[in-house]
């Protein structure tokens, strides 16, 4: 089972430069691979999407990670529900930050 640590937590789109509003959390596993869990905040209801695994030096589009066999999922879910679904999908646990 992978161990993930949250390495960043940001919210985007509260200015005129963004297309939409979303919040994202980035996790890193013990091998240095990154995963992103993103929540679209201006969707009705808000939904989630996930990306990974990828390395810090990755360029271009991130590899999409299907959760429950879907690209967009968790309409109206809480962060806790979405994190649990992501962890189930990639067989991981999230640890506290170091």
5 closest CA partner among 82, 91, 94: 94
- 46 has pLDDT over 90: no
Residues 11-34 have pLDDT tens digits of 877 666 666 787 999 999 999 999
Quick one: pLDDT band at residue 97, thresholds 50, 70, 90? low
Its pTM stands at 0.86
55 closest CA partner among 84, 26, 83, 79: 26
Say how many domains are in the chain.
1
The residue-averaged pLDDT of 78-97 equals: 91
Quick one: pLDDT band at residue 82, thresholds 50, 70, 90? very high
Which structural domain range is residue 77 located in? 2-95
CA atoms within 13 A on the CB side of 43: 16
Q: Distance between CA atoms of 47 and 78, rounded to whole angstroms?
A: 9
Quick one: tokens of 88?
A: 């189930």
- 59 has pLDDT over 70: yes
């Amino acid at each position: 089972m992978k161990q993930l640590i949250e390495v960043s937590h940001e919210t985007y789109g509260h200015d005129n430069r963004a297309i939409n509003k979303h919040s994202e959390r980035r996790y890193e596993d013990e091998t240095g691979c990154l995963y992103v869990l993103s929540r679209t905040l201006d969707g009705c209801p808000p939904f989630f999407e996930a990306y990974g695994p990828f390395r810090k030096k990755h360029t271009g589009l991130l590899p999409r990670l299907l959760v429950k066999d879907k690209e967009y999922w968790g309409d109206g879910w809480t962060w806790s529900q979405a994190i649990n679904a992501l962890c189930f999908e990639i067989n991981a646990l999230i640890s506290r930050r170091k």
